[in-house]
Amino acid sequence: MRPHRNWVLNIRNFAFAAFLVPALAMAQDSRRVPRFPITVSPIQLAGDARPQQYLGVIGRRAAWLGTETGAAELWVHPLKLVSGFQLDFKIPDYDTPVRGVDVARTVTVRPELVTITYSHATFTVRQHILAPLDAPGLLVLLEVDTFRPLEIVGSFRTVFQFAWPAAFGGQYSVWSDRDGAFILSESLRKRNAVIGSPWITSGTSHPAHALPDAPSEFRIPVDTARIRTEYIPIAIAAGIAPRDSVLGWYRDLIANARAHYEKKRDHVTRLLSEATDIETPDAELNRAYAWSLINLDEQLTCNPDLGCGLVAGWGPSGQGQRPGFGWFFGGDAAINSLAMDATGLWSQVAEGLRFLAKYQRADGKIPHEISQSAAHIPWFTEFPYTYYHADTTPYWIVAVWRYWRASNDTALLEALWPAVQKAYAWCLTRDTDADGLIENGPGNLGAIEVGALGEGIHEDIYLAAVWVEALAAMGELAAARGDAAQAADARRHHEVALATLNTRYWREREGHHAFGILQSGQTNDNLTAWAATALAFDQLNGKPARATLRKLATDSISADWGAHPLSTGSPLYDPMHYNNGAIWPFVTGFVALGQYRYGRPYAGYPLIDALAQMTFDWSLGRHPELLSGSYYRPLDTAVPQQFFATSMLVSPIVSGMLGWIPSAPERRARLAPDLPPQWRHVTVRGLRVGRSAVDVTIVRDSNTITVGLTARGDSVTIDLELNAPIGSEQRLMSALMVDHPSDSTGMITFLPGEIRNQAQASIALGPTQRHAVLTWTGGLEVEPPHVELVPGQESTGLRVVNLAARSGGWDLLVEGARGRSYELRLHGTPVRRAENATVVKSAGGVTTIRVTFPDGTGRATARVRLSP
């Protein structure tokens, strides 16, 4: 637990009576907002208000994009209304107002509502900020305590413009005494916005038919009697709609403030209760995971012209009109859908899949990006960005397949099937050399958008891996649709593509897979994290796969806070470069997944741990797009709330560490938990398989694991393949047992494997809990080393590069900073001797060793021979 944050762990009891007023009061005056209780969220986060630190409050149709000290941009899609919205405070003791940014002291972030607390010697103001779930507006509720006269001064600069790149003219802003609000409009009055409050007594007047150069300002004298029982509301509503309609939305926000808050709170509560829930011994990881679910839900954005789809991320636009990546990205939506499939966020995925199919190009290509203002310009015909990437189309096929396997939504598959076939046909046109892999090229980008790494690329390993997965998807989807010929065609292409991926990209001399194949026919041999895409999809073979994974585990790729796309040893490496060195949480997730796929949890879990810590160090509850390659800090240009950064915490946890792979059409699922050896218990509720869910409890003693399994929701049983790893590299089983051992569906077999040994059971699950008990002797596991991240630090942590069994012991390869010593804990067989390391202590099945690296600069490796 980190000392610099005040985590709220449990919902507390409140004396609600002090806040409640009779319902009649609201009926008597819809302009009043009686105080109502703001519920404590079990995952809320609180801390000091930090200047320039992003604070987002997100609804389906509107967004507050600001900072923790109060300044904000206000958006109602597709319109940016104002910038620099902020509150100041006028008291008799001061000639000039007290600036809100100077007295903003704390921020409390809940999934449904955010609170900034302004603290002064004479007053306390709590600014509750709500983005209603589906209303076209925003609502601020001010909870004021003061013993002196106080006037609240609000100000903003009017923008009133479409999101990038569309525009319109003729805007103006006027103050309306009758409405107590600013009216933002334009000459045709087709676009309108209202910003105001029934408490406002005056607002600045500006020249008609023009936007002012100076900020607009309004004043709220605080009635010290009313504030004891009322909130002071400030409402913002907007839309491409008549002014009377927008004024109606504005009034509704005030009159039904409590209802809007409770609807958002109830939505969040239902989301967290229905999605897959994970409880581990690490409370910080549990909370980060829960916040990831909230973030993934906030992708779903509704545009009045385009429909509802999944956007890529949010962040302030500054002087421009691009709200982070708050427009619709096909590749991001597909990537994020894999995490959402695994956790039951299916309605959001379905919306996103339908949205992209709606804008599929005539030749089958799926859009890469769609601006919020696309309906107002020739976006789809004249702008170059819409279909910019090649990977979006095969990734969309994969996303449809994974959604169907998780949900068994045959109706959506049937509706999307013509689009799937068109997407598949387009992909086939991108293989001009018959090697089975689709190709990059102008307007068909893959991993790289900018920089020398992408020069001369014919095919890159990221795009190749996505296409190989899409071919696997098409084979299964076509078979399910009864199209045997297309299924056979996809399988033939898959066989060729997989062979090319494993032969052409492997570089024996370099000892890792290449980044890409060049137009010259040569290879780009740079070590990159992009090979982890193929590893995450379990596509690379045997020893070459493990060799690449060992290199990805070193600090040249896997730093303390995540993965560099390009090795720090490359001459092209630049720690500030978008593609050639900055650390991406998105890429980090692929590397973590790849490590788990090939039985290397000691290299995968530290990346999960880093992504979890990121949830609390920057924008509270959010994940930044990318960070410096040299220091633990987001780049200034990074989008502060990026959803594929969030999904790549969820996917390695659910699909990697838990090994959850559902196949709802077959009523089957696979569970292959590979937990840190120091964990003694894990509970997972609601692993979804179609209309059913599986609850799992895992309890571990020194040499025994008990797995409890229960299915619920659907009367049909689920066939579960439980696939438990037997230690790192080597472990011998001494006893196995399952409930009802005479039941053939409960048989457990021991499977020696090339990578890891497995205990495998096929268990028929129903409402009665079943238990699998695994007992063993021998073996050794490495506890993944934890690095407590500190903003601004350099990467100096220990890396576990490899653990391999040998006759009479184990060989451990670790990497660390020169001149430093590290302690590492080993679980299982007591280690008595350690060459190139010191045994510190051994007790209770845990051996602690110390590894010291020679003096110097940079990093070094140590090969430690461990013997019992």
Beta strands (DSSP E) in 17-78 are 33-34, 45-48, 54-58, 62-67, 72-76
Q: Is the pLDDT of residue 735 over 80?
A: no
Asked if 731 and 709 count as a contact pair (C-beta separation under 8 A), the reply is no
State the SS3 of 389-411: ECCHHHHHHHHHHHHHHHHCCHH
Torsion of CA 322, 324, 329, 331, to 10 degrees: 140
- Residue-wise pLDDT for 590-608, tens only, equals 999 999 999 999 999 999 9
Asked if 150 and 128 count as a contact pair (C-beta separation under 8 A), the reply is no
- Residue-wise pLDDT for 469-514, tens only, equals 999 999 999 999 999 999 999 999 999 999 999 999 999 999 999 9
- Residue-wise pLDDT for 384-426, tens only, equals 999 999 999 999 999 999 999 999 999 999 999 999 999 999 9
Helices and strands in the chain, H and E counts? 17, 50
724 pLDDT tier (thresholds 50, 70, 90) = confident
DSSP for residue 786 = P
Residue 562 makes CB contacts below 8 A (sequence gap 6+) with: 583, 584, 585, 587, 588, 607, 610, 611, 614, 627
Asked if 460 and 390 count as a contact pair (C-beta separation under 8 A), the reply is no
Place of tokens 């990578």: 755
d(CA 189, CA 384): 31
Can you give the pLDDT at residue 30? 76
CB-count exposure of residue 210 (10 Å: 0-12, 13-18, 19+): exposed
Can you give the pLDDT at residue 771? 81
Asked if 390 and 397 count as a contact pair (C-beta separation under 8 A), the reply is no
Q: Model-level pTM? A: 0.94
Q: Is the pLDDT of residue 184 over 50?
A: yes
Catalogue the long-range contacts made by 257-262 (C-beta closer than 8 Å, 24 or more residues apart).
257/33, 257/130, 257/139, 257/141, 257/231, 257/233, 258/33, 258/34, 258/36, 260/130, 260/132, 260/133, 260/135, 260/139, 261/36, 261/38, 261/112, 261/113, 261/130
740 pLDDT tier (thresholds 50, 70, 90) = low
332: Cα separation from own chain's centroid: 10
748 pLDDT tier (thresholds 50, 70, 90) = low
- Residue-wise pLDDT for 42-81, tens only, equals 999 999 999 999 999 999 999 999 999 999 999 999 999 9
Asked if 64 and 71 count as a contact pair (C-beta separation under 8 A), the reply is no
- In this structure, what token pair is assigned to residue 768? 């009665």
Entry field: residues in the chain: 868
- Residue-wise pLDDT for 859-868, tens only, equals 999 999 999 9
